Each structure stands twice: as structure tokens, then as C-alpha cells.
Amino acid sequence: MVLESLMGNIAVFMLVAGAGLIIAEAFAPGAHFFVAGTGILAAGIVGVLLPAAIPAPLILTIMAVVVLATSVGTLYAYRELDLYGGQGQGKTSDSDSLRGKSGRVTERVTPTDGQVKLDEGGFNPYYEARSFDDELPEGTEVIVVDPGGGNVLTVESVDNVKDEIDRELEREAEAEQA
């Protein structure tokens, strides 16, 4: 008797709790609140929709199965869609991880304005960007030289970036010409 009277309240509570966890994922991306939230929300919906004629223990069992199945399915889909970039990298990384990443200019980049799209930029690969001195036209391939805290990146054209190997090749070419 008591269990039957609580069933409606449990289902509504699960609806609210599931929705709350899904919303919490927006504030803490990568915490996987979404996975638990979808399972609990689905069980709440099932609990509300099942007729009262079904015995309460059976409804609870059905809801438990729905939580498990939905959570496992959501976790699988979450990882397959790879929302956070890279297999098994469902974690937040710091802005320093952007240093050295490559991408393309989507809006002309100047020392004061511009936008780039990074090749491995995560869920939203578009970043505000600035250049050191040059104006970089749309479509230019760039590399991040200073992540700047992740809000505004400083980028350089790939054609202008030289590493030790490039400098050594230039020295050899100059030595051969001399």
C-alpha cells in the first residue's frame, strides 16, 4: 500500500533529478552527469506513463532496468560521438594544450581581430585569434604559438614558423652555395 502511494512521487522525483543532472552537465562538461541524467529521466518518464494497475515492485524493477539500459546506451553513444575530442579523452584540458595545434583562418586575422578553426579544437573548434604583425587572409593554414588562456589565441602562418630542422636545412643550403 505505502509503496503504491509513493510510486507517483518517485517517478516525478526521477524526472526532476534526471533533468537537473542533464542541466548540470552544461556547467561541468565532461563530468558525465548527462549519462546518469538521461537514465534517471527516462526511468521517471516510464514511471509516470505506466498504468497504476501494475504492481509497484514490478514498476520499480522496470524503472531500474530502464535506468541501467539507458545509461549504458547513453555512455556508449557519448563515447562513440567523441564529444570531447580523441578516443578516451572525455576530460577537460587546459589552454596550454592548444599550443602547437594547427588550423585554418575562417575570418581574416590581424593583430587586433580574427577567427580560426583548429583541426583538433574539441566540441567547438572556433577561436578568436590575433597575429603578431602580419595580416593572415581567410584560408591560411596557421599554428597556435600562444594560447593566451584559451580565449584569444595568438597564431602564426605555418609558412612563417621555423624549427631547428628548418634552420639547419637553411644553413646547409647557404653552405653549399658559398
pTM: 0.46
Dihedral sign (CA 132, 134, 138, 144): negative
- Give the pLDDT confidence score for residue 100 in this predicted structure: 85
Q: What is the mean pLDDT of the chain?
A: 83
> Phi and psi at residue 70, in whole multiples of 5°?
-65, -40
The pLDDT tens digits of the residues spanning 98-128 come to: 888 889 999 999 999 999 998 876 667 888 9
Which residue in this structure is represented by grid cell 591560411?
Answer: 140
Cβ neighbours of residue 132 under 8 Å, at least 6 residues apart?
Answer: 111, 145, 154, 156
Q: What are the domain boundaries of the chain?
A: 2-81, 96-164
Grid cell, residue 164, equals 631547428
Q: Identify the CATH number of the domain defined by range 96-164.
A: 2.40.50.140
The pLDDT tens digits of the residues spanning 61-92 come to: 999 999 999 999 988 887 777 665 555 444 44
